[in-house]
Amino acid sequence: MKSEIKAYAKVNLFLDITGRLENGYHTLNTVMQQIGLYDVVTAEISDGDGISIECDNLAVPCNEKNIAYKAAAAFLSETGNKAKIHINISKNIPLEAGMGGSSTDGAAVLKLLNEMYGCPLTIGKLCDIGASLGADVPFCITGGTAVCTGIGEIMKPVGCLKNYVFLVVKPDFSCSTPAGYRAYDENPLPENNNFENFIAELPCGAEKWADKMYNVFEKLYDDERISEITDTMRKNGAIGSILTGSGSAVFGIFSNENTAQKACEFIEAPFKCITFPE
């Protein structure tokens, strides 16, 4: 039996660190938005035992370190099934971008296997399993627009008028997530007090909130290369532009596809994508 599913990327419209737990994890206030960029994940189930991963991007680990592998193992353990599972990942989401590329592949495996086995697990249970694999996995299971707190696993869907277009850029450098959190631990920034107001304006259209987007990692990195991209987007029609996740991808919000396409021409980067909220 063989089936495939789209694994959608996410961006953070708002991302703030609110504290550090004793176990080393950090608490967050964030708004995640699913976007139209996606990987394609295929699962094949046959008699036997074992999990194997195949990917067209050689930088992706095809072993038990891959969240997709962990997701398949967790699903089999939870349901008590025994099978030989082969997973193929066709990557379109850039790596080390802050767009949930690994998490969404793991989420896709959980959803796909659940469908292939006749949906023995509820969405809530899939999210519980996902939370054990990574903080972004539950959101990648549910998608849409959501306010996420805790370490990112506590989700509340929110209404958001999707009258806008994304231009996503992944520059030719990566950002170190551990280094970003270390910078916070060494010199914590005050909590952004605009979070609730930002959430309240989401249903009012991007013109109301796009210029109020926030990502604490921009301040922690203080990287001129990131600022150059966001400034270029704003100068060329973006009504808001910030880093997503812990980076290094940057996105801009535009009122229409034509304006986003024109702005794209002013930015040099190995990965550029015009897409829409999902």
Q: Quick one: what percent of the chain has pLDDT higher than 90?
A: 96
Give CA 166 to chain center in angstroms: 14
Residue 265 one-letter amino acid: E
C-alpha distances out from residue 195 to 18, 109, 126, Å? 11, 32, 28
Average pLDDT for 102-112:
98
Q: Cα–Cα distances in Å, from 144 out to 35, 215, 238?
A: 8, 19, 22
d(CA 33, CA 47): 38
Amino acid at 24: G
* Residues recognised as catalytic: 10, 136
Using the structure block, give the residue that is written with the tokens 């790596």: 95
| C-alpha to C-alpha distance for 245 and 16, rounded to whole angstroms | 10
Total Cβ atoms within 10 A of residue 189:
12
Half-sphere exposure of 46 (CA within 13 A, CB side): 6
Q: Read off the pLDDT of each residue in 158-180 and give the average, rounded to a whole number.
A: 93
In order of their start, the domains of the chain are 2-157 (3.30.230.10), 165-275 (3.30.70.890)
Residue percentage of the chain with pLDDT more than 70: 100
Q: Is the pLDDT of residue 7 over 90?
A: yes
234-261 average pLDDT score: 98
Mean pLDDT value across residues 249-276: 97
pLDDT band of residue 97 (cuts 50, 70, 90) is very high
pLDDT digits (tens, 9 = 90+) for 175-202: 988 888 999 999 999 999 999 999 999 9
The full DSSP string for 166-204 is EEEEE-SS---HHHHHHHHHHSPPPPPTTHHHHHHHGGG
Q: What angle do CA 169, 191, 251 make, to 5 degrees?
A: 10
What pLDDT band is residue 277 in, cutting at 50, 70 and 90?
Answer: very high
Query: Residue 158, exposed/middle/buried by CB under 10 A (0-12, 13-18, 19+)?
Result: middle
Ranking 19-23, 86-90, 175-179 by mean pLDDT, the lowest is 175-179
Q: Residue 33 in contact with residue 11, Cβ under 8 Å?
A: yes
Please give the Cα distance from 224 to 232 (Å, whole number): 12
Query: What is the predicted pLDDT for the residue at 211?
Result: 96
Q: Identify the band that residue 247 occupies on the pLDDT scale cut at 50, 70 and 90.
A: very high
Q: How many other CB atoms sit within 10 Å of the CB of residue 131?
A: 20
